[in-house]
């Protein structure tokens, strides 16, 4: 039986499609958001990530708001959704959590009782030194035509770069800095084009920079 990860407000499809969610996400804003809100660390970013973070969980990230229609449609039409690395900020919506933390439903993706239709991961892959091995394991855990939905921090936020970011909550520090192969990126150590790496195992359907200095990649098992 899957564990109850957190005793918090239940995130529902209706809530995420409703006005209350948008009000929380747009708190203190005057106009459109910037892709660099993590760098700016403005009033809105502080509200989402430090005031209502336990209420919103992973849905506090701007990229989740930007791409929520596509993400929600995929999840709603899937039978078995896995939240990879989401114990601290669960995806919810009936997903099961795979994470190294004890509170997770499973500590290893190979322990899942059945194949996943969707594997979701937000701000997790940057912590994993053996990225190829992990992506291979994720692929092997999925049904044919399954979706990988992932968000990772972008190189555009300096404090999130490998060698700079230090994790104070007991997780691994960032092992990688990520960009997209379509960009011109200044040289930096421990750098990868995340779309190229994921593309070794999956067919990329979408890859772009998104809000909160993050990168969104949607891919399908090949």
Per-residue model confidence as pLDDT tens digits over 62-95: 999 999 999 999 999 999 999 999 999 999 999 9
In 60-141, where do the E strands start and end?
A: 81-84, 96-98, 116-122
Can you give the C-alpha Rg of the chain in angstroms?
17
d(CA 214, CA 222): 25
Residue 168 lies in a domain: yes
Using 50, 70 and 90 to split pLDDT, how confident is the model at 30? Answer: confident
d(CA 83, CA 98): 6
Residue 7 lies in a domain: no
Is 98 within 8 Å of 112 (Cβ atoms)? yes
- Average the pLDDT over each of 1-15, 18-32, 119-133, 181-195 and give the range with the smallest value: 1-15
Q: Which residues have CB under 8 Å from 199's CB, separation 6+? A: 219
Residues spanned by the domain of 70: 13-221
Residue 93 lies in a domain: yes
Is 178 within 8 Å of 152 (Cβ atoms)? yes
Q: Provide the domain count of the chain.
A: 1
Task: Give pLDDT tens digits for 143-174.
Answer: 999 999 999 999 999 999 998 977 655 567 89
């Amino acid at each position: 039986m899957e564990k109850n990860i957190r005793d918090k407000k239940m995130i529902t499809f209706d809530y995420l499609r409703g006005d209350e969610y948008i009000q929380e996400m747009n708190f203190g804003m005057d106009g459109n958001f910037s892709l660099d809100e993590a760098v700016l660390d403005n009033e809105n970013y502080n509200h989402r990530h430090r005031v209502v973070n336990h209420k919103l969980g992973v849905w506090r990230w701007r990229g989740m708001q930007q791409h929520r229609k596509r993400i929600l449609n995929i999840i709603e039409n899937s039978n078995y959704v896995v939240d990879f690395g989401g114990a601290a900020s669960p995806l919810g919506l009936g997903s099961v959590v795979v994470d190294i933390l004890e509170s997770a439903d499973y500590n290893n993706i190979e322990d899942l009782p059945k194949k996943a239709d969707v594997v979701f991961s937000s701000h997790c892959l940057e912590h994993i030194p053996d990225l190829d091995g992990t992506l291979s394991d994720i692929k092997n855990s999925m049904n044919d035509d399954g979706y990988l939905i992932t968000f990772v921090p972008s190189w555009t936020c300096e404090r999130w770069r490998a060698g700079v970011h230090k994790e104070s909550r007991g997780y691994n520090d960032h092992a990688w800095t990520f960009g997209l192969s379509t960009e011109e990126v200044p040289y930096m150590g421990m750098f990868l084009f995340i779309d190229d790496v994921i593309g070794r195992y999956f067919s990329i359907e979408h890859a772009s920079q998104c809000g909160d200095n993050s990168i969104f990649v949607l891919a399908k098992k090949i």
